[in-house]
């Protein structure tokens, strides 16, 4: 149950145990969880300690409460992305209080294919940097992003550890590239097998395919990015007037 002499605060222990129960499916989506009183009896702790654990889980988006009805298991956190500003994955996650991280799946210098050359506005077969990263938020896979950049604009880009940092920060700080605008298309699609496994999707679940062409302040195409986002976690919002 709880370890009273250990270094981990008791409310944190209760929080992790409830998190495990949610993760394992023992507590199902939208199921009412035991009341504060029941939990305080079960764990042999004060109701205040239980409340602390429940408050933390509510703030994490794992639980929600309905006045007079109780506390329930929340749907997994939805990441709402307003389509207004030209932001990076790192900025988007940090703004939400989520910890961004990446895993580089491939990174190489190669000749641009006909399609990529056309999109980057460079001659076919000119050198490009191509890099695919799995992007995670708080350790959970959220997107797969494949970027293509003309090597001429970013010589030596792969010497930077982009598995850790932000591409847009490197573009700005190392290459003095000021990104100015982007054009983006979004479509719903079915993931292929590799995407299901990389994004840890539970079975077939829709994804969003997003393509972005990013221009710098001199209107040069700096990046052609193809991303796949989890459809169950990502919500795009647009302001209309």
Q: How far apart are alpha carbons 105 and 97 in whole angstroms?
A: 25
CA 236 vs CA 142, 163, 187, 231, 233: distances in Å: 14, 25, 11, 10, 10
Beta carbon nearer to ligand GLP, 33 or 171? 171
* Residue of the chain from 35, 81, 90, 126 that contacts ligand GLP (CB under 6 A): 90
- Select from 34-42, 68-76, 160-168, 172-180 the region that touches ligand GLP (CB under 6 A): 160-168
Element (H, E) at 195: helix 193-198
SS3 (DSSP) at 65: strand
Question: Of 34 and 163, which has the nearer Cβ to ligand GLP?
Answer: 163
For tokens 């933390």, what's the residue?
A: 56
Count CB atoms within 10 A of the CB of residue 71: 19
* Residue where the block lists tokens 């990013």: 214
**Piece in contact with ligand GLP (CB under 6 A), picked from 53-61, 75-83, 85-93, 188-196:** 85-93
Q: What's the CA gap between 186 and 191, in Å, rounded?
A: 14
Q: Between 30 and 108, whose beta carbon lies closer to ligand GLP? A: 108
CA-based R_g, the chain, Å:
22
What are the structure tokens assigned to 108, written together? Answer: 């190489």
Smallest gap, in angstroms, from Cβ of residue 163 to ligand GLP?
Answer: 10
Q: Which two tokens stand for residue 107?
A: 């990174």
Q: How far is the CB of 82 from ligand GLP (least distance, A)?
A: 14
The distance of closest approach from Cβ of residue 223 to ligand GLP in the complex, given in angstroms and rounded to an integer, is 6
Segment 130-149, which members bind ligand GLP (CB under 6 A)? 145, 147
Q: How far apart are CA 169 and CA 172, in angstroms?
A: 5
Interface characters, 167-206, with ligand GLP (x: CB under 6 A)? xx--------------------------------------
Of 11 and 89, CB closest to ligand GLP: 89
**Residue 226 engages ligand GLP in binding (rule: CB under 6 A):** no
Using the 8-state DSSP alphabet, how is residue 159 labeled? G
Contact pick of 212, 215, 220, 236 for ligand GLP (by CB under 6 A): 212
Total site size for ligand GLP, rule CB under 6 A: 12
- Dihedral (CA of 91, 92, 94, 98) sign: negative
120 binds ligand GLP (CB under 6 A): no
Footprint of ligand GLP (CB under 6 A): 88-90, 145, 147, 166-168, 212, 223, 225, 227
């Amino acid at each position: 149950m709880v370890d009273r002499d250990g270094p981990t605060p008791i409310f944190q222990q209760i929080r992790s145990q409830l998190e495990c129960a949610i993760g394992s499916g023992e507590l199902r989506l939208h199921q009412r969880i035991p009341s504060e009183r029941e939990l305080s009896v079960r764990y042999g702790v004060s109701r205040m300690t239980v409340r602390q654990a429940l408050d933390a889980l509510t703030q994490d988006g794992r639980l929600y409460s309905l006045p007079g009805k109780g506390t329930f298991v929340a749907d997994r956190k939805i990441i709402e992305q307003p389509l207004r500003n030209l932001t990076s994955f790192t900025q988007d996650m940090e703004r939400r209080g989520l910890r961004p991280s990446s895993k580089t799946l491939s990174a190489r210098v190669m000749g641009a294919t006909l399609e990529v050359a056309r999109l980057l506005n460079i001659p076919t077969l000119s050198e490009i940097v191509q890099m695919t990263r799995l992007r995670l938020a708080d350790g959970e896979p959220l997107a797969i992003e494949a970027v293509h950049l003309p090597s001429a604009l970013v010589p030596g880009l792969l010497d930077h550890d982009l598995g850790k940092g932000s591409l847009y920060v490197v573009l700005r700080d190392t290459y003095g590239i000021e990104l100015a605008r982007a054009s983006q298309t979004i479509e719903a699609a079915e993931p292929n097998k590799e995407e299901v496994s990389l994004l840890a999707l539970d079975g077939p679940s829709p994804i969003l395919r997003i393509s972005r062409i990013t221009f710098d302040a001199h209107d040069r195409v700096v990046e052609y990015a193809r991303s796949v986002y989890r459809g169950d976690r990502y919500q795009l919002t647009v302001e209309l007037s």
